[in-house]
């Protein structure tokens, strides 16, 4: 009886102190002696409800190890597949009996669900035991991002009404926005400060000036038509949106969703109507004060012109004063070039019957055929000279003729109508001939001097 009373007196105080009983009962070291809890950015139970962390932000995982046994644990380590290798750091490798230890891992968040089972281990060398504890933890990486591209189509400027002022040109800018994140984006707006477009001023289809919801990986197209003066312009597109996801910071603070932006640019040029080449306008040939015609037929317009591109003659065979160089001789003779005022005009000859002018002489000027003495006298009249250069056939015919007209008259006639290009070519030929003469002089003069000196020495 006294023995049973003694046992009851020893058990009742232990039953009255429940907190003391487990500690006293943990005198062994076995399964369940090591426990581990994990928090992610200050949030517990991350295995069931993983917190959201913005991609690129810092993730802080804290592993709390508790040793409820009476034996020390050596070589304590934590392995977590969701953490980069070597990121978990523990202050020591020994966990004392009835003690606690906290290991920490810090790294950058990546996109998607990152949940895994962490495992903590420790050894009791004297008992040849390895204790382990596991806990499931993780986070969700929120990746929000926009990409914006644009393409410009230019329309040529026109003219308004009958006004000669150049109107502004128009350009159509097509913006393409893409969600390359892993969460839907809301209220996507596009603006362009370079073109003076406020956010939402573009046409995005059914949504008006904004895209209501843009799913991950999807794209939307918005357009804008602008009018600008001719010249070079620069477009600077800006897209903005939000995924409306609240995330957690390293110390457990709540972070609101940021405004996501994307930019693009393009340079385009609006041409002006004045820069386009004007249409060719026909130029009337220069006419003199009169012209010779067929016998008994007066001149219709007072000038005779050779149509542009005509290489043949327009004179009438056998008619005096036919258009061609044969008729020109009469005009020159009328002006006193042949030395006799009122020289008779030349009738059409074999080479001039078709109105073909003779060719050029050796100095680049056309040779005029002589006027026959038997031609009837005609009143002196000036002949209209066409503004177009003489045809090659005319020059070839002139080379076969024997001209007795004075060279001064021929030169005066040709110089009056050779034009700018003819003068330029003639000056080039004269310059080349002058250069040859100078080179010959430079060679012959020293040779003459050397010969004179050699003669003096021999004398």
d(CA 66, CA 77): 13
- Give the pLDDT score at 411: 60
Which CATH number is 104's domain given? 2.60.40.10
For the record, the structure tokens of 108 come out as 């950058």
The answer on 138 and 180 residing in a single domain is: no
Q: Which of 190-194, 325-329, 447-451 has the lowest mean pLDDT?
A: 325-329
The answer on 34 and 112 residing in a single domain is: yes
Which residues make beta-bridge pairs with 197?
192
Q: HSE of 410 in the Cβ direction (CA atoms, 13 Å)?
A: 22
pLDDT at 278 over 90: no
- Give the pLDDT score at 241: 96
Residues 6+ apart with CB under 8 A from 341: 334, 380
The answer on 150 and 137 residing in a single domain is: no
The radius of gyration of the chain's CA atoms, rounded to the nearest angstrom, is 54
The answer on 321 and 206 residing in a single domain is: no
Asked if 172 and 155 touch (Cβ cutoff 8 Å), the reply is yes
Q: Which of 26 and 266 is assigned the larger pLDDT?
A: 266
For the record, the structure tokens of 217 come out as 């990986």
The answer on 385 and 338 residing in a single domain is: yes
Q: What's the Cα-to-Cα distance from 457 to each of 450, 451, 452, 454, rounded to whole Å? A: 11, 10, 9, 5
pLDDT at 23 over 70: no
Q: Which residues of 110-139 are buried (b: 16+ CB within 10 A; e: fewer)?
A: ebeebbeebebbbbbeeeebebebebebbb
Q: Which of 120-134, 163-177, 371-385 has the lowest mean pLDDT?
A: 371-385
Number of Cβ within 10 Å of residue 162's Cβ equals 5
Q: Which of 64, 66, 26, 24 is nearest to 44 (CA)?
A: 64
Q: Which of 58-72, 140-154, 399-413 has the lowest mean pLDDT?
A: 399-413
Number of Cβ within 10 Å of residue 269's Cβ equals 13
Is residue 162 in a domain?
A: no
Helix axes 407-417, 325-334, angle to 10 degrees: 110
Q: What's the Cα-to-Cα distance from 182 to each of 84, 116, 217, rounded to whole Å? A: 22, 20, 8
The answer on 407 and 445 residing in a single domain is: no
Is residue 302 in a domain?
A: no
For the record, the structure tokens of 155 come out as 């329309």
- Give the pLDDT score at 402: 44
- Give the pLDDT score at 27: 53
pLDDT at 2 over 70: no
- Give the pLDDT score at 407: 57
The answer on 47 and 133 residing in a single domain is: yes
Burial class (CB in 10 A: 0-12, 13-18, 19+), 10: exposed
Expressed as residue numbers, the domain containing 434 is: 420-459
Confidence of residue 69 (pLDDT cuts 50, 70, 90): very high
Is residue 279 in a domain?
A: no
Asked if 241 and 210 touch (Cβ cutoff 8 Å), the reply is no
Is residue 300 in a domain?
A: no
Is residue 280 in a domain?
A: no
Is residue 12 in a domain?
A: no
**Per residue in 249-277, pLDDT tens?**
999 999 999 999 999 999 999 987 655 44
Indicate the number of domains in the chain: 4
Which residues make beta-bridge pairs with 248?
254
Q: Average pLDDT, stretch 115-140?
A: 95
Which residues make beta-bridge pairs with 366?
360
The answer on 111 and 100 residing in a single domain is: yes
**Per residue in 356-391, pLDDT tens?**
344 444 444 444 444 444 444 444 434 343 444 444
The answer on 411 and 424 residing in a single domain is: no
- Give the pLDDT score at 143: 95
The answer on 392 and 341 residing in a single domain is: yes
The answer on 259 and 319 residing in a single domain is: no
Is residue 457 in a domain?
A: yes
pLDDT at 9 over 60: no
Q: Beta 94-95 vs 73-79: how paired, if at all?
A: antiparallel
Residues 6+ apart with CB under 8 A from 13: none
The answer on 206 and 113 residing in a single domain is: no
What angle is formed at CA 338 by the lines to CA 333 and CA 342, rounded to 5 degrees?
A: 40
Is residue 282 in a domain?
A: no
User: Mapped to the 3 state alphabet, what secondary structure does 71-140 carry?
Assistant: CCEEEEEEECCCCCCCCEECCCCEECCCCEEEEEEEEECCCEEEEEEEEEEEEECCCCEEEEEEEEEEEE
Q: Which of 272, 263, 268 is nearest to 152 (CA)?
A: 268
């Amino acid at each position: 009886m006294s023995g049973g009373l003694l046992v009851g007196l020893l058990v009742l105080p232990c039953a009255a102190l429940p907190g003391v009983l487990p500690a006293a009962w943990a005198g062994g070291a076995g399964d369940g002696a090591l426990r581990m809890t994990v928090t992610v950015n200050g949030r517990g139970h991350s295995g069931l409800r993983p917190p959201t962390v913005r991609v690129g932000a810092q993730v802080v995982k804290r592993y709390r190890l508790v040793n409820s046994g009476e034996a020390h644990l050596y070589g304590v380590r934590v392995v977590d597949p969701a953490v980069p290798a070597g990121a978990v750091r523990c202050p020591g490798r020994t966990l004392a009996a009835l003690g606690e230890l906290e290991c920490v891992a810090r790294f950058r968040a990546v996109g998607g669900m990152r949940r895994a089972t962490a495992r903590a281990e420790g050894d009791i060398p004297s008992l040849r035991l390895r204790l382990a504890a596991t806990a499931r933890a993780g986070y969700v990486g929120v990746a929000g991002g926009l990409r914006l591209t644009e393409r410009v189509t230019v329309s040529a400027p026109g003219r308004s009404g009958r006004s000669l002022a150049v109107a502004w040109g128009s350009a159509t800018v097509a913006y393409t926005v893409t969600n390359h994140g892993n969460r839907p984006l809301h209220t996507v707006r596009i603006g362009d400060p370079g073109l003076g477009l406020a956010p939402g001023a573009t046409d995005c289809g059914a949504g008006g000036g904004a895209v209501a919801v843009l799913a991950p990986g999807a794209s939307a197209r918005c357009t804008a038509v602008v009018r600008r003066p001719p010249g070079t312009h620069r477009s600077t597109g800006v897209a903005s949106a939000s995924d409306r996801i609240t995330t957690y910071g390293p110390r457990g603070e709540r972070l609101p969703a940021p405004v996501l932006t994307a930019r693009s640019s393009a340079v385009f040029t609006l041409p002006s109507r004045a820069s386009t080449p004007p249409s060719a306008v026909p130029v009337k040939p220069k006419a003199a004060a009169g012209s010779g015609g067929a016998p008994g037929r007066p001149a219709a317009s007072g000038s005779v012109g050779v149509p542009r591109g005509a290489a043949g003659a327009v004179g009438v065979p056998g008619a005096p004063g036919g258009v061609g160089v044969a008729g020109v001789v009469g005009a020159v003779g009328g002006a006193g070039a042949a030395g006799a005022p009122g020289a008779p005009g030349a009738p059409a000859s074999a080479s001039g019957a078709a109105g073909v002018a003779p060719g050029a002489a050796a100095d680049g000027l056309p040779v005029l055929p002589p006027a026959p003495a038997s031609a009837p006298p005609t009143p002196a009249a000036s002949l209209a000279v066409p503004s177009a250069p003489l045809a090659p056939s005319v020059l070839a015919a002139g080379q076969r003729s024997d001209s007795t007209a004075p060279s001064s008259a021929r030169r005066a006639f040709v110089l009056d109508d050779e034009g700018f290009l003819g003068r330029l070519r003639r000056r080039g030929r004269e310059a080349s001939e002058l250069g040859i003469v100078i080179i010959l002089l430079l060679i012959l003069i020293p040779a003459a001097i050397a010969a004179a000196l050699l003669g003096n020495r021999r004398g």
